[in-house]
């Protein structure tokens, strides 16, 4: 796993390091890390701002020059940080050609551009002059290497009004949330982190990677049966949204993820249509009125007999009966419970959040749960998610380009997934994967994170086979077995 830290923690860590190692040496290490991350050749232009990020750029210019690579500097302003001024002066002593930016500057004679305009400290509005410069760089179609983070991209949340679109971003020290959240994937084609020995002062988040899930799924014993791996219930569906439960089960998401038995608990009206799609799963029809479940406690109890983990809410609609069903289950059952979709919207109304629930909202659903507007959440999603999970003693999986998983103490991030998953049903597939895992795995934060990781991985495989335009949620399901296989114990 990789540590991910906020810019305030990074800035505190930099201050701490200043008492233990020369800031000039750290700047040189950062420049060397960038040099080692990209095959620089031809003629290189380093575009600098006025702070320490520009200092990294000046230090890189010296390294490139020493390596015999032709390098020029383009300044946005003749202003420097203390350390930046030191390396700038060395650039002048080494006769590195330096220009002051104007809008007629010709980028076409360069093979690589280096973005050293803003670092992690950028926040707020960008001067029009710099915005025009960034637009010119992006439209040049020349490879761009960003030092630490793309200029204009907020290091804490990955939001931007305008920012560099990099070919490669070289994060220095550790990753920042802004490398991963919100718009980041659209502006960073490739991301690498270079550890230059900065000690972190503060509690990090963690980006989970392939090796963190090595052997996560147990090898199945011959002396076992379907009951060994749990009977999971998927309670949801309506006449209007019958596809959701098909995607979450269909003997695919839930059973391919390892559950022994999957039971679909659905309105009687749609049960017959589901039979056409169900082979390995079982169906328990619930009395309904025009495709909407009717609350009957005895029928609910019967449907949940022997169920070891339950998914509630997909394909539901918001109505009085569903409110009664959700309330009854929360008050009477202590099995692992995952709530998604309209289950979350109902939960936001009835406000009966009990400990150890697993909630899987997207941003709009999370806004309803918290009462916090979307814009505020987008600006600080990790802090708000962590606070909410801690307050209610739950596990929260907040969906997005990078998924946030937290129990209020630890924060995990998973970065698998792709734009091809922006299609109807992707969330239902994730819920099916998760409930399938909970049939036999501990209902803890890492199990929830694994579901998100595998869902994204299967989505990437589906997009690779089809395209970001044509991939469907069912394609993610069809690649699930391949995504899971490397994580089974040998």
- Considering the chain, tell me which residue range(s) the CATH 3.40.50.10260 domain(s) occupy: 2-202
Give the confidence band of 356 by pLDDT, cuts at 50, 70, 90.
Answer: very high
Q: Which two tokens stand for residue 375?
A: 């814009």
Q: Note the pLDDT of residue 347.
A: 97
2-202 adopts what CATH topology?
Rossmann fold (3.40.50)
Q: Note the pLDDT of residue 420.
A: 92
Under 8 Å CB-to-CB from 209, ≥6 apart: which residues?
1, 2
Lowest average pLDDT, out of 91-105, 109-123, 253-267, 364-378, goes to 253-267
**Residues β-bridged to residue 231:** 261
211-487 adopts what CATH topology?
3.40.1190
If one counts every other C-beta atom within 10 angstroms of the C-beta of residue 22, the result is 11
| Cα–Cα distance for residue pair 387/296, rounded to 1 Å | 36
Edge to edge, the sheet with strand 43-48 lists: 98-100, 70-75, 43-48, 112-116, 144-147, 168-172, 191-194
Phi, psi of 442 (to 5 degrees): -60, 135
Q: Which two tokens stand for residue 16?
A: 């701490």
- Considering the chain, tell me which residue range(s) the CATH 3.40.1190.20 domain(s) occupy: 211-487
Q: Note the pLDDT of residue 279.
A: 64
Q: Which two tokens stand for residue 342?
A: 């309209």
Q: Note the pLDDT of residue 249.
A: 52
Q: Strand, coil or helix: what is 411? A: strand
Give the confidence band of 250 by pLDDT, cuts at 50, 70, 90.
Answer: very low
| Cα–Cα distance for residue pair 468/232, rounded to 1 Å | 32
Q: Note the pLDDT of residue 333.
A: 97
- The per-residue pLDDT for range 132-173, each reduced to its tens digit, is 999 999 999 999 999 999 999 999 999 999 999 999 999 999
- Mean pLDDT computed over every residue of the chain: 93
Distance of alpha carbon 173 from the chain centroid: 20
| Cα–Cα distance for residue pair 480/482, rounded to 1 Å | 5
Burial class of residue 32 in the structure, from the number of CB atoms within 10 Å of its CB (0-12 exposed, 13-18 middle, 19+ buried): middle
pTM of the full structure:
0.94
- The per-residue pLDDT for range 395-427, each reduced to its tens digit, is 999 999 999 999 999 999 999 999 999 987 888
Mean pLDDT, residues 353-379 taken together: 97
- The per-residue pLDDT for range 47-60, each reduced to its tens digit, is 999 999 999 999 99
- The per-residue pLDDT for range 285-331, each reduced to its tens digit, is 999 998 899 999 999 999 999 999 999 999 899 999 999 999 999 99
User: On the CB side of 299, how many CA atoms lie within 13 Å of its CA?
Assistant: 16
């Amino acid at each position: 796993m990789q540590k991910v830290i906020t810019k305030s923690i990074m800035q505190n860590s930099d201050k701490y390091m200043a008492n233990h190692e020369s800031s000039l040496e750290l700047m040189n290490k950062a420049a060397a890390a960038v040099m080692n991350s990209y095959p620089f050749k031809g003629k290189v232009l380093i575009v600098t701002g006025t702070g320490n990020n520009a200092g990294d750029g000046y230090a890189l210019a010296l390294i490139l020059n020493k390596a015999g690579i032709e390098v020029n500097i383009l300044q946005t302003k003749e202003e420097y940080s203390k350390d930046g001024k030191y390396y700038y002066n060395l650039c002048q002593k080494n006769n590195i050609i330096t220009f002051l930016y104007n809008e007629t500057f010709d980028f076409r004679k360069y093979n690589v551009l280096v973005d050293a305009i803003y670092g992690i400290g950028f926040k707020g509005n960008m001067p029009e002059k710099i915005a025009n410069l960034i637009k010119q760089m992006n439209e040049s179609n020349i490879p761009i290497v960003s030092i630490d983070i793309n200029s204009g991209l907020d290091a804490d949340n990955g939001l931007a009004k305008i920012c560099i679109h990099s070919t490669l971003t070289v994060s220095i020290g550790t990753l920042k949330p802004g490398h991963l959240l919100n718009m980041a994937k659209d502006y960073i084609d490739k991301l690498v982190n270079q550890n230059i020995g900065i000690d972190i002062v503060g509690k990090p988040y963690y980006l989970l990677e392939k090796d963190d899930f090595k052997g996560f799924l147990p090898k199945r014993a011959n002396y076992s049966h379907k009951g060994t791996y749990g009977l999971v219930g998927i309670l949801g569906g309506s006449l209007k949204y019958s596809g959701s439960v098909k995607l979450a089960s269909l003997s695919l998401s839930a059973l391919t993820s390892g559950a022994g038995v999957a039971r679909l608990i659905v309105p009687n009206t749609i049960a017959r249509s589901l039979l056409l799609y169900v082979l390995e799963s079982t169906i328990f029809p619930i009395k309904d009125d025009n495709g909407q479940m009717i609350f009957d406690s005895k029928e609910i109890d019967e449907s949940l007999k022997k169920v070891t983990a339950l998914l509630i809410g997909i394909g539901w609609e918001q109505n009085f009966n569903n409110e009664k069903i959700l309330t009854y289950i929360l008050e009477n059952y202590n099995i692992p419970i995952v709530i998604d979709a309209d289950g979350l919207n109902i939960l936001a109304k009835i406000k009966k959040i009990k400990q150890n629930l697993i909630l899987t909202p997207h941003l709009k659903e999370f806004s309803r749960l918290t009462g916090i507007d979307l814009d505020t959440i987008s600006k600080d999603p990790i802090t708000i998610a962590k606070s909410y999970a801690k307050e209610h003693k739950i596990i929260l999986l907040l969906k997005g380009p990078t998924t946030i998983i937290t129990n209020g103490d630890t924060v995990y991030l998973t970065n698998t997934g792709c734009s091809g998953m922006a299609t109807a049903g992707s969330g239902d597939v994730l819920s099916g994967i998760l409930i399938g895992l909970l049939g036999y795995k501990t209902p803890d934060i890492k199990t929830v994170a694994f579901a998100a990781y595998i869902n994204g991985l299967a989505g990437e495989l589906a997009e690779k086979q089809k395209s970001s335009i044509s991939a469907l949620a069912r394609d993610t399901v069809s690649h699930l077995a391949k995504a899971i296989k490397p994580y089974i114990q040998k």
